[in-house]
């Protein structure tokens, strides 16, 4: 009887699947949060052990655009400086003088005396000793231009000139900016006022129009005084000087601003107590602390300089034929025929300019973010 009562009073255990699922998810979330916290602790300990340089590299390579920009720049250097050594079938100024025979077909109509329309087809054989506007082939990978010179080879040599001009100009403008910005920021007073007003004047000048005017004036005066044409090498030197003159002001303002914030630091006070000369305080103790910002500025400036050089060369005021430059290669597309039917002559140069400018801008942005002390680790 008692056993029967127990069976009747026994209630079945019902599992609430919904509650059980919620409990499992909560446990998993708690476990994940614990693991995340442990990983954060490990990462923080790793960052503390890393050097500032290692931390910058870690931040830089974390950005996909920075890696893409670095790949672009490496490609440009290999293509421009190693390319002509590997692919040396044609020279920079070598003209393909293969004899080319073309049949020119001329069709026209006229009305005779009886009022009948006469259709005439004439074929004229034209022989040329310059293989101009050749289509891409094994002989010429990207064809030839209007002078019969290999487009692929000139593309490589043009990159060499553009990158060389870019680096030399950026180094020169940085040196000028460091000297004037360092003196202005350290001494202050009337020296600072004088240099900054000069900087303001240069900042107010529209760079590209002034570059065009200056290039044209120097070209005309040189020809008038010397009685000869400027050589290609002289044009390159003049081009570098002109771009440098109108590009240093931004660097000077950057250096001056950084030194104004650093000159009151304790390590500068220590150098004054030690009696170090002024030049040593500026160029040995202050300028090295500005180098991260200068590296970013130089990288971003390279793209702008390459763009200026290409623009001046395109307008005939920079590097000129027979020297190769991306700007002069684009300048061959001045007629509708070349623009529409000979894309291989000018389009590759435009693509290379885009790659160069984007590559240096991507790397510059990546370095700026990597060197930012407030950036996420």
Nearest to 148 by CA among 102, 94, 104, 87: 94
Whole-model pTM: value is: 0.73
Query: CA angle, corner 131, sides to 129 and 133, nearest 5?
Result: 140
pLDDT band at 13 (very low <50, low <70, confident <90, very high): very low
**Which of the 8 DSSP states describes residue 149?**
B
- Per-residue pLDDT at 127 exceeds 60: no
pLDDT in tens, 355-369: 999 999 999 888 888
Percent of the chain with pLDDT over 90: 12
Q: Residues 302-320: pLDDT tens digits? A: 888 888 888 888 877 777 7
Average pLDDT, the chain: 78
Residues paired with residue 128 on neighbouring β-strands, in sequence order:
100
| Secondary structure element (H or E) that encloses residue 242, with its range | helix 232-245
Asked whether residue 185 carries a pLDDT value surpassing 50, the answer given is: yes
Q: What is the pLDDT of residue 40?
A: 59
With beta carbons less than 8 A apart as the criterion, state whether 148 and 131 touch: yes
Q: Which of 99-113, 126-140, 177-191, 237-251 shows the lowest per-residue confidence on average (mean pLDDT)? A: 99-113
Q: Are 254 and 180 in contact (CB under 8 A)?
A: no
219, HSE (Cβ side, Cα atoms, 13 Å): 17
For residue 282, give both structure tokens: 């500026």
């Amino acid at each position: 009887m008692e056993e029967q009562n127990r069976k009747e009073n026994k209630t079945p255990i019902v599992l609430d699947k919904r509650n059980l699922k919620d409990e499992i998810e909560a446990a998993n979330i708690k476990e994940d949060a614990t693991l995340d916290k442990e990983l954060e602790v490990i990462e923080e300990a790793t960052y503390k052990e890393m050097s500032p340089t290692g931390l910058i590299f870690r931040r830089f390579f974390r950005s996909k655009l920075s890696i893409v920009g670095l790949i672009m720049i490496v490609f440009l250097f290999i293509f421009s400086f190693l390319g002509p050594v590997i692919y040396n079938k044609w020279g920079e100024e070598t003209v393909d003088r293969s004899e080319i025979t073309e049949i020119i077909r001329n069709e026209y109509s006229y009305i005779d005396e009886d009022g009948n329309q006469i259709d005439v087809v004439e074929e004229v054989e034209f022989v040329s000793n310059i293989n101009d506007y050749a289509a891409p082939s094994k002989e010429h990978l990207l064809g030839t231009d209007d002078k019969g010179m290999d487009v692929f080879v000139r593309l490589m040599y043009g990159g060499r000139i553009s990158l060389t001009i870019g680096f030399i100009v950026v180094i020169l403008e940085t040196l000028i900016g460091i000297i004037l910005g360092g003196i202005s920021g350290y001494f202050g007073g009337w020296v600072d006022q004088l240099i900054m007003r000069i900087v303001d004047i240069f900042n107010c000048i529209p760079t590209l129009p002034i570059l065009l005017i200056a290039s044209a004036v120097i070209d005309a005066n040189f020809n008038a005084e010397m009685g000869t044409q400027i050589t290609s090498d002289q044009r390159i030197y003049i081009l570098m000087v002109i771009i440098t003159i109108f590009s240093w002001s931004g660097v000077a303002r950057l250096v001056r601003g950084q030194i104004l914030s650093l000159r009151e630091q304790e390590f500068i006070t220590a150098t004054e107590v030690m009696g170090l000369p002024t030049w040593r305080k500026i160029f040995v103790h202050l300028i090295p602390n500005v180098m991260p910002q200068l590296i970013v500025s130089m990288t971003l400036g390279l793209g702008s300089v390459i763009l200026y050089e290409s623009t001046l060369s395109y307008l005939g005021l920079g590097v000129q034929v027979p020297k190769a430059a991306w700007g002069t290669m684009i300048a061959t597309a001045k007629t509708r025929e070349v623009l529409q039917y000979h894309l291989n002559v000018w389009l590759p140069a435009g693509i290379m300019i885009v790659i160069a400018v984007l590559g240096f801008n991507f790397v510059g942005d990546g370095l700026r973010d990597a060197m930012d002390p407030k950036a996420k680790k």
